[in-house]
Amino acid sequence: MPRYKLIVEYDGGPYNGFQAQAEQPSVQASLERAIAAFSGETPRIHVAGRTDASVHATGQVAHVDLERDWSADVVRDAVNAHLVPEPIAVIAAEEVDADFHARFSAIGRRYLYRVFDRRAPAVLDRGRVYWMKTPLVAEAMHGAAQVLLGLHDFTTFRDVRCQANSPMRTLDVATAARVGSEVHLTFAARSFLHRQVRSLVGSLVEVGVGRWSAADLKAALEAKDRARCGPVAPAQGLYLTGVDYPDQAAAKREK
């Protein structure tokens, strides 16, 4: 039974998150309907990370097993044809080994958060950025973010409904940089806690507007207390930009 790895992008605005839910629109349900429409099968896709409602993706990864041995290009194009006019696209597909798993084979996940800090509204990017009227100091945010790097107990930045067994996570990348009228924050780790990125962004915004210092952020981290987290940033500015795998795990099968 061939297994296909799919790289997917989507606008999360119209969906109640990635995961399929009864009577709620989801990215997973739309993808599975599209695959069923072209293949005649009843597919079940597996995904690297189940994004929340209104969270976007430019590099989400899923896999699906199909009975028929389709060309990967046919899978990509046929799924996209059945997704019109939904804001979801399979940007790449490849056949992979049977032991590849979109979630369990992943060794890293990368996120981008876009804050649009212009006095005038972000009309062309409404629903895709966090709009703030107050200007941010990106350099201060970047400097403060460095205290988050490495292995920490991230209880402060963990949603109370998080189901992870441990609050311990190793953050490999945490940056903030000015990009025109936006501040882009990037994060990378093997895995993240529920709403960890949005919680970190909200606290870094406090640094950017001058209400917190880097020392305040460090103290919040060390407190291991959810009540010490800054306001959680809204979902619409967040993007899953990529998932990393060992080269051998995603090796294309030999025909």
Active site residues: 52
Residues paired with residue 109 on neighbouring β-strands, in sequence order: 189, 243
- The alpha carbon of residue 135 and the mean position of all alpha carbons in its chain are separated, in whole angstroms, by 25
Length of the chain: 255
**Contact at 8 Å (CB) between 15 and 26?**
yes
- Quote the CA–CA distance of 111 and 229 in Å, as a whole number: 19
- Quote the CA–CA distance of 16 and 109 in Å, as a whole number: 21
- Quote the CA–CA distance of 210 and 114 in Å, as a whole number: 19
Residue type, 206: E
Using the structure block, give the residue that is written with the tokens 């996209």.
Answer: 80
- Quote the CA–CA distance of 238 and 13 in Å, as a whole number: 11
